[in-house]
Structure 1
């Protein structure tokens, strides 16, 4: 039996819809998230460094909110303010906001540390790299810098063909001179995790697998290496505070509420949660391979 007029009109209307257009419900939800961010905008705009574009930071923060649907309003605000305070985007590269149950937690990554190192006027460049099993490399501590260290990646091979990563390294050029080369192998990174990470120890005790050392070992390995570089480059108050915030974040039982004297109290914000609606599926920040001293906790 031929289709009814109603069916034909419906089919024609559906065929006129542009392909790849997000569902209307998702657009509305995104607008709700944007309104929520804008309503709390003074926290971020007051904290962001001048060189950070406010609109871009808001767009990145907006993309993170779907991953934090079960987190408290207070912990989300605290984590976003921490990102803004240090001028780091919560994009999974400079920093990430990781949900631990109902607590959103600020987690700086190794690129975030490098970003803050570059802000010191004496630092020319900062380099981080991975050495793979089949790469050509040599380290001779007694040789004069920069001839003491050499790394030649096998550019004729894929990463898989170059073999597994065996070493992370980092160094900086400061006033035309190269710093000490910081090197960290996998057993050393594992030792840092086992000895210093309260978050990892807590996850093991509770039989969970949600600490960054468990979900993103290489990212934490890289961050531990770069954090050690902090000891041999010119430091700033901002860089020292980032290390302290990073250490506080490892205690996943609570998110730190003070960032450089800025306090977000329960009285400073409304109790209205982020609109939940039908949450769209969104990849966890930092879930893709990234490519976060004191030691990394």
Structure 2
């Protein structure tokens, strides 16, 4: 996805080349939206009971125009991953990001926190940023909770508080505070350089389009929260989210399999995986099947 600045640059470059800027194909977008709606039951059936189905589909439909150039299989798999974990693809709990023609599921740090809260022993989870002029102290030899202190400068604006110097996270478990996870920028960069396949690939191809390039702070925050996962009561669901997140970042592998969920994708029956014509599709259980020409057969 491109932001407003990028679109302005594209338009300016097109004008210099005496060619018109790219135009959104509304017909393709409308057909893609219909395609997603026709598969609604696949996603809503996978959602946990506490997640509002209508709101989930509304969020999914709102980002579909950005995914019209992605393969059907990758879009289906990415949204099914969101549904499986009960995370909305709103860019806060999770995101579905187009990398070329592949739609990729990527959990955000709020998504990890959401899954932590589902454990009955976890009372609360806290994430925060320490800025340069904030009051803070960390003395690991002190007993919890006296080992860590942070008081933001509420008398200053965010800019006046200075740049972010630390990300931190902790949880309250059975009435007791967990270990505090503290991550500075250099440590976040080390994690990025060592573990992120997407970052390395974006550096090699000079596209610089990985999440570490486009939203470093979000990935910094997620790195801190992922470390917190190691010190809170875990669950099978949280372990699966970590695995899916790692698989999505490893660009040398196939799209991740979301364990525990049956993935039915009518497009896999033919060679339609790489199409972007967004054919009509049968609703699960309707008795109709998608044909190879993109139409429906009763």
TM-score by length of 1: 0.79
Query: Which position in structure 2 is the counterpart of 1:74?
Result: 73
Assess, with a 3 A threshold, how the Cα gap between structure 1 residues 162 and 78 changes in structure 2: closer, same or farther.
Answer: same
Residue 211 of structure 1: aligned partner: 210
Q: Secondary structure at the match of 2:227?
A: helix
* CA distance in structure 2 between the aligned counterparts of 1:237 and 1:150, rounded to whole angstroms: 32
CA RMSD of aligned residues (A): 2.1
Report the equivalent of 1:20: none
* CA displacement at 1:258 relative to structure 2: 1.6
| Counterpart-to-counterpart distance in 1, 2:207 and 2:33 | 33
Note the C-alpha offset of 1:29: 7.4
After TM superposition, give the deviation of residue 205 of structure 1 in Å: 1.4
Q: Is the 8 A contact 1:93 1:112 kept in 2?
A: yes
Q: For residues 145-197 of structure 1, what are the alpha-carbon distances to aligned partners after superposition, in whole Å with 9 as ceiling and x for unaligned?
A: 11111100001111110000000000000010000000000000000011111
Inter-CA distance 201–173: structure 2 relative to 1 (3 Å threshold): same
> 1:279 matched to which residue of 2?
none
Given that residues 110 and 219 in structure 1 are in contact (C-alpha distance below 8 angstroms), is that contact kept between their aligned partners in structure 2? yes
Task: Say yes or no: does 1:199 pair with 2:204.
Answer: no
Change (3 A) 1:230 1:257: closer
SS at the partner of 1:150?
Answer: strand
1:117 Cα deviation from its structure 2 partner: 0.1
Matches within 5 A, 1:23-38: 32-38=31-37
In the alignment, which residue of structure 2 is the partner of 1:177?
Answer: 176
Helix, strand or coil at the partner of 1:57: helix
Mapped to 2, the partners of 1:178 and 1:140 lie a distance apart of 15
Q: Structure 2: how far apart are the matches of 1:158 and 1:29?
A: 45
Matched residues, number:
251
Give the TM-score, by structure 2 length.
0.79
The structure showing larger relative contact order (alpha-carbon pairs under 8 Å, at least 6 residues apart) is 1
> For residues 85 and 265 of structure 2, what CA distance do their matches in structure 1 show?
22
Q: Which runs of 5+ in 2 are unaligned?
A: 1-24, 280-298
Name the SS for the 2:105 alignment partner.
strand
Q: CA deviation at 1:254?
A: 5.2
C-alpha distance in 2, partners of 1:273/1:191? 38
SS at match of 2:223: helix
Deviations 1:1-31 (A, max 9, x none): xxxxxxxxxxxxxxxxxxxxxxxx96x8776
- Note if contact 2:168-2:181 (Cα within 8 Å) is conserved in structure 1: yes
Q: Is the contact between residue 133 and residue 164 of structure 1 (CA under 8 Å) also seen in structure 2?
A: yes
* Range moving further from structure 2, 104-113 or 255-264: 255-264
Q: Corresponding residue for 1:91?
A: 90
Whole-angstrom distance in 2 between the partners of 1:249 and 1:192: 16
Q: Residues 70 and 35 (structure 1 numbering): CA distance in 2 closer, same or farther, change over 3 Å?
A: closer
Q: Indicate if the aligned counterparts of 1:103 and 1:255 stay in contact, CA closer than 8 A.
A: no
